[in-house]
Amino acid sequence: MDGKLRNMTAIYLTQNGKMLMLYRIGSRVVAPSWCGVGGHFEKDELNDAKAAMLREMNEEIGLTEDDIENLKFRYVTLRMKNNEIRQNYYFFADLKDDAKIKKDCSEGSLEWVDFDKVCDREMPFTAKYMLEHYMSTGRFDDKIYGGVTTPEGIVFTEMTEF
């Protein structure tokens, strides 16, 4: 490991018991699979995961912060893969009823998925275990969780300020 880092962010939007999922194709980092809307940080965003997420959300599905409510940063995960440390920052929000998602997403196909079916989708390793934790635990609280990957999944801990 030579100190390479890859910072990525994603947002998972919810509405009426469903979660917006993106079947991402053509990624340089992950095989075609289901995930949230998001991507890589730009250089000027390295200390601002929210700014990176908002930019990606606008680029991919045409939404701004005014189109969502109850925005919360909930997870940060670390994974060693391909000789780099991948840091993922995950946000969740509710889509406002009058918000209009861009129909053509250049990153892949969008689909609203029932909460009880979200974890049945094929998705990147870290996203899969983060969403399993979110659906069973995280969506019922307001905690921020840190997670470190292992070959068996992710070990989560509540992040507290001290």
Q: Backbone phi, then psi, for 81, in 5-degree steps?
A: -155, 135
Has residue 1 got a pLDDT over 90?
no
d(CA 37, CA 116): 19
Query: What is the predicted pLDDT for the residue at 32?
Result: 84
Query: What is the predicted pLDDT for the residue at 28?
Result: 75
Q: Is the distance from CB of 37 to CB of 60 less than 8 angstroms?
A: yes
Q: Is 84 helix (H, G, I), strand (E, B) or coil?
A: strand
Task: Convert the pLDDT of each residue in 111-148 to its tens digit.
Answer: 999 999 999 999 999 999 999 999 999 999 999 999 99
Strands (E), the chain: 5-15, 18-24, 33-35, 37-40, 68-81, 84-95, 108-114, 145-150, 153-158
**What's the pLDDT band for 26 if we cut at 50, 70, 90?**
confident
pTM of the model: 0.95
Domain that holds residue 58: 5-158
Residue 54 sits in a domain whose CATH number is 3.90.79.10
